A = this chain, B = another copy of it.
């Protein structure tokens, strides 16, 4: 491209960006990366393995090469290290299943109606968007997104501290797949975890806890976090990927409920997309605000200063910020005393 003057390259790249989403989804649906990993390396071999047309596979694989998911040498396609790790179904870190949540028709419809959402200042698909009670999308979330949460869950567990041989009472609010509480229970053999979520979602978390052999240290509370009693006291309250769905007054209600449910010395652990005060860095935290605009009535990507105020209002003595590289998320640890 001409580097001298203005270029329409970014415009076209962005207007056509949805094609990349579709190409990657198609490759996952055809299990193309797994077939490459298993030694099918030419368009003809892959077409046979994927039960697709050689011409279709050749064009798709070339496209995936251009956008960075494959390498091509003569007529041979190879996986990149990232594709080997995250897109080969036999890999323990396989992420392909996350498309069952990330590309659900409900979420796509929210973005399809983005102009109306910007006009309204909140989701245009319904009054509450994805936050509506018992929305089945959260079952899809719980089933699809656990693999993605392994690294954040491990890093969040690092923030709990204390003696891992001591008892630890944990409440996992809006537990979803339950992975954050489950990871804590694995790290702290004396920990007892209570998972709170809507009943349809809670079934997924309870199932995951059973599979992790934690049934005897795992309890559940079914209902909306805003309506049911949280029980307690707890040493740790987990607020993972939860507060971003709500406006700040609702976040304050949650923080107050966390404060009341915590024992002295207890702390609330918030995992979220937390941009810098400029709200445009880091990119993955900053861009998440658009997802909240498109999919919820009042949600946002809040800054650390905003979370500090939320927890201070609820009575917490202090909050600390933690970046969690290499994940796309950040954490706030808020101490009751």
CB nearest neighbor in B for A32 = B118
Contact B15 A98 (CB under 8 A): yes
Residues of B within 8 A of A111 (CB): 18-19, 22
> If the complex has contacts A63-B290, A119-B52, A121-B53, are A25 and B15 also in contact, measured as CB distance less than 8 A?
yes
User: Which residues of B have CB within 8 Å of A23?
Assistant: 114, 290
- Give the interface residue-count category, chain A: 35 or more
Whether A280 and B65, one on each chain, are in contact in the complex, defined by CB atoms closer than 8 angstroms, is: yes
Q: Is A161 an interface residue, CB under 8 A from the partner?
A: no
Residues of B within 8 Å of A119, CB to CB, are 30, 50-53, 56
A189 at the binding interface (Cβ < 8 Å):
no
Question: Contact: A24 with B30, CB < 8 Å?
Answer: no
Q: Which of B112, B120, B278 is the one whose CB lies under 8 Å from A22?
A: B112
**A-B residue pairs in contact (CB < 8 Å), sample of 22:** A1-B326, A5-B85, A6-B85, A7-B82, A11-B86, A14-B21, A15-B21, A15-B98, A19-B287, A19-B291, A25-B114, A29-B115, A52-B121, A53-B118, A53-B119, A55-B300, A56-B293, A58-B279, A59-B290, A66-B283, A66-B287, A72-B280
CB proximity to B under 8 Å, residues A20-77 = 20-26, 29-30, 50-60, 62-63, 65-69, 72
Q: Mark A303-317, 1 if CB is under 8 A from B, else 0.
A: 000000000000000
Q: Does A102 contact B (CB under 8 A)?
A: yes
Known A-B contacts A57-B118, A66-B287, A102-B16; A86 and B22 likewise in contact (beta carbons under 8 Å): no
